[in-house]
Amino acid sequence: MQIIFNGKSYNSIEEMPANEREAYESMFKIFQDANGNGIPDFLEGDIAKNVTAAFTNAVHYDGVAYNNLDELPPEAREKVKAAFVKLNHLGLIAGEPTGAPARPKPPAFEPAFKSSKPLIPQEPVFEQSGSRNWMIILGFLAVALFCALAFAVYMFVK
């Protein structure tokens, strides 16, 4: 099997340089299929939540969420910038990180109007009651018993 990654062809993962292999494996983890059903796990379940979690603009560092890179402590900011430079060098992203705040997420759906009540109210066609069901079952059993007796008498007389 031939692997084409960042415009280069490889016969196996082992042929890739260490930095290329690391980038390939990290991208491959996003599309993993742990349960083996042929669908990447991030597309199963609550798709919007999974995709948003995979591609969010918020930054979490030491258990604290930051809305932009400028809010990070200086040592963390340097690590992030170094990572972006490395990703840029690998051709995975273009440019350098900006401290622009993350855009607020728009609401998923807001209807323009409330749903109205139906003109003809829908009522159930069948209403089930325990005593009525037992009466129907006993009626069928009585008819079946009568048919069985009639058949036995017919066979006896014949």
DSSP class of 71 = G
Q: Report the distance separating Cα 69 and Cα 56, nearest Å.
A: 13
> For residue 61, what is the enclosing H or E element?
strand 59-61
Q: Report the distance separating Cα 125 and Cα 15, nearest Å.
A: 69
pLDDT average, residue stretch 89-95: 64
In the predicted structure, residue 34 carries a pLDDT above the cut 50: yes
Q: Report the distance separating Cα 6 and Cα 87, nearest Å.
A: 12
Count CB-CB contacts under 10 A for residue 138: 10
Q: Report the distance separating Cα 82 and Cα 88, nearest Å.
A: 10
In the predicted structure, residue 105 carries a pLDDT above the cut 70: no
Domain locations along the chain: 1-50, 56-102
Three-state secondary structure along 8-53? EEECCHHHCCHHHHHHHHHHHHHCCCCCCCCCCHHHCCCHHHHHHH
Q: Is 5 exposed, middle or buried (0-12, 13-18, 19+ CB in 10 A)?
A: middle
* Lowest-confidence pick of 27-31, 45-49, 123-127, 152-156: 45-49
CA angle 69, 72, 75 (to 5 degrees): 115
- Alpha carbon 107 to chain centroid, angstroms: 18
pLDDT average, residue stretch 28-40: 75
User: How do residues 46-73 score in pLDDT, each as one tens digit?
Assistant: 554 555 555 556 666 777 777 777 788 8
What's the confidence (pLDDT) of residue 116?
67
Bigger pLDDT: 125 vs 132: 132
DSSP, collapsed to helix, strand or coil, labels residue 75 as: helix
